[in-house]
Structure 1
Amino acid sequence: MNREIELISQTAKQLSETISNLNNNIVDLYENMDRSSLTIDERSELILIYQALNELSEGVESLKFLGKPVREEGQLKKNSNGRYILGEHELTSGHPIEVFDEDGNVFYQSRIEHSGGDYYIVSLGRGVPIKNIRCRIR
């Protein structure tokens, strides 16, 4: 792995752990706090902190996702029961997936969903057929 990428990855992991710890501490404080004694400004600030931590938690989940090993890479195929598979893995609604972008020569994160009798990849849109699209799962 490129040294700069390795350094960024290590820093992101440390940041992820710090945010997770902060989030746990804030949730504990929030759940055990007598909010009725707070002023309007204090309650407003508390709500903003809580909302910001929820958004940071989404980033933490993305960083955790990157830490998982790639389990399978290849082209999506449709099996006999109408679901898509990647290797031995059957994919259903909500399944996270990385889609290969040939123009950018990069994988980007998305998920599988179902609508109108078939599955689609959210980032590609409902009208885009997904059979034989290059993907990977972690």
Structure 2
Amino acid sequence: MELKLALKVLEEIENSISKLEDRYGNLPDEFEYNYDNPEEKYQHDTVRTIVSKLADIQTQIEWMNKSVISEGVLVKNNNNRYEIQGTEIEFSSGLPLDVWNNEWNQWETSRIEHNGEDYYIVSLGKYKPISGLKVRKK
């Protein structure tokens, strides 16, 4: 399958997922059903599991399609946080970013967390130094 076709299908999937959203843009985590009906209980639990996975898919599609705000090298700033060198784009725990993988010559999505001593990029491990890594913020 060609990538362009896959992207088109994913766009359709994203549009279908959005039909489940409430008026605030959130996917439901509960559904009305007959508690006395074992089959509806089963369906309810299965639908909740599926919707949770759809939320993850929706998040990944949205991230992939976001525009890049800035790209550069991570440096530690005066706040003891990391930022993209030459910008004021600062990262703190929980924030997503893309990190460049030199071995595979590609971007990988991850997030910043703190291990009690310093910040790290989750996909690289808790103790890998991150200063000097190429990242981008979307």
SS of equivalent to 2:19: helix
- What TM-score do you get using the length of structure 1 for normalisation? 0.85
Amino acid at match of 1:63: I
Give the root-mean-square deviation of aligned CA atoms.
2.0
CA distance in 2, matches of 1:41, 1:89: 50
Aligned to 1:123: 123
Amino acid at match of 1:99: V
State which of 28, 52, 72 in structure 2 corresponds to 1:54.
52
After superposition, the Cα gap between the structure-2 partners of 1:69 and 1:46, relative to the gap in structure 1 and judged at 3 Å, is same
Alpha-carbon deviations, 1:67-120, whole Å to 9, x = none?
110111111010012000013201110010111111110001000001222100
Deviation at 1:50, TM superposition (A): 1.4
Gap regions ≥5 residues in structure 1: none
CA contact (8 A) 1:20 1:57 kept: no
CA contact (8 A) 2:93 2:112 kept: yes
After superposition, the Cα gap between the structure-2 partners of 1:39 and 1:63, relative to the gap in structure 1 and judged at 3 Å, is same
Q: Displaced runs of 4+ in structure 1, greater than 4 A? A: none
Aligned to 2:34: 35
After superposition, the Cα gap between the structure-2 partners of 1:29 and 1:5, relative to the gap in structure 1 and judged at 3 Å, is same
- What TM-score do you get using the length of structure 2 for normalisation? 0.85
Higher helix share: 1
Aligned to 1:101: 101
Aligned to 1:92: 92
Using the TM superposition, name which of 74-83 and 9-18 deviates more: 9-18
Gap regions ≥5 residues in structure 2: none
CA contact (8 A) 1:95 1:111 kept: yes
Aligned to 2:17: 19
CA contact (8 A) 1:23 1:53 kept: no
Deviation at 1:29, TM superposition (A): 8.3
